[in-house]
Amino acid sequence: MMNKKDLLEATHQGLLIYKLVLSYYYKESFQMGLSGKRCLPFFNPFNEKKETLIISRIGKVFHYHDIELPEFKGDPFDFAALHYKLQGDELLEKINQGLHLQLMMEEGFKVQQVLANINHFVYVLDMPSFSYYHCPITNTKPNEQITLLDVFNRVKDDSVNGYKARTLQLRSISDPEAASQYKRTHFDFVTASGIFSKRSNSGLVCHSGLLTLDFDHVENLPLVKEALLADANLDLVIDLMFDSPSGTGFKSLVSINIMQHQHHKWFEALAKYLKRRYDLEVDKSGKDVARACFLPYDPNVYIHPLYLN
């Protein structure tokens, strides 16, 4: 028998269910832009088609709410029920048919999922963009604008940028002061929190919706990173994670909603949670919106799978 878990797995954790329902109200081609793991405000057919509908990932599932209607919220199945006026198995089957899914359960086998005839759904990923700078750290003028996926590829693949040689050289330097000087003069960096005309708080042109969390001198580094990625409270926000240039810590780029709270408020809340839950100290410079983030070589860099779809 089909169940909600099967449908969620077949619909990108409910995202396609929203697109199915909205397609009935917006017959012409439409796009649902996604910033991080939150859809940009969309027209709500259940609130006079006002641009007040927010769809965001909470835990592993996309939920909805309306910025004008406090009680208007729920999961993908609640949203579909508003349109179909159905509940239970009837609702699940209606979604199955509407998306042209074929979900079959055979004893002893995993559910088979076949997606077909859904080309009319246009999936647009609004990839976070920010400024990139060539070394040294004294450079305050951005050299180019890159995306989160660009950083993932540059950190992971050493075929072009030479990050590997620089990283290995840095880690071979035993004197802390000499190592710091080498990093400041040989490592390219980004201001992950936005696009800047110059690297300063006053030079911010557009916030990226990202915040940098920097952790130094972390014991049991692989276990700590694994624990954070498995934390249901943080699944909503961790977009990119990689080891620091020194190899003794790590950096995380996380999604924040600056329409809800200011940059520094998000930093304070996340730093407090991580200290209380994991006894992790976050580098306080992350509160600065113009915070520079050095880019090392890390073949095991993590990026949220949503950005690879």
What is the pLDDT at residue 38? 57
Question: How far is it, in rounded angstroms, from Cα 44 to Cα 287?
Answer: 34
Dig out the tokens for 137 from the structure.
């750290």
The structural domains of the chain, with segments of one domain joined by +, span 4-125, 128-308
Regarding pTM above 0.75, the answer is no
Q: Beta 112-114 vs 38-39: how paired, if at all?
A: unpaired
What is the pLDDT at residue 105? 36
What is the pLDDT at residue 223? 94
Of 251, 256, 165, the closest CA to residue 210 belongs to: 256
Check if the beta carbon of residue 238 is closer than 8 Å to that of residue 304: yes
Of 181, 218, 188, 144, the closest CA to residue 297 belongs to: 188
Helix axes 15-25, 76-84, angle to 10 degrees: 30
Within 10 angstroms of residue 5's Cβ, the number of other Cβ atoms is: 9
What is the pLDDT at residue 185? 97
In a structure prediction context, what are the per-residue pLDDT tens digits for the chain, which is 309 residues long?
678 988 888 887 888 898 889 888 876 545 555 544 556 667 899 999 898 888 887 877 889 999 999 999 999 999 999 999 999 999 998 998 888 776 543 332 232 332 233 333 333 335 789 999 999 999 999 999 999 999 999 999 877 788 999 999 999 999 999 999 999 999 999 999 999 999 999 899 888 889 999 999 999 999 999 999 888 676 557 899 999 999 999 999 998 877 667 899 889 999 998 999 899 999 998 899 999 999 999 999 999 887 875
Domain spanning 4-125: which CATH class is it, in words?
Answer: alpha beta
Within a 13 Å sphere around the CA of 111, how many CA atoms are in the beta-carbon half?
Answer: 17
> Cβ-count burial of 258 within 10 angstroms (0-12 exposed, 13-18 middle, 19+ buried)?
middle
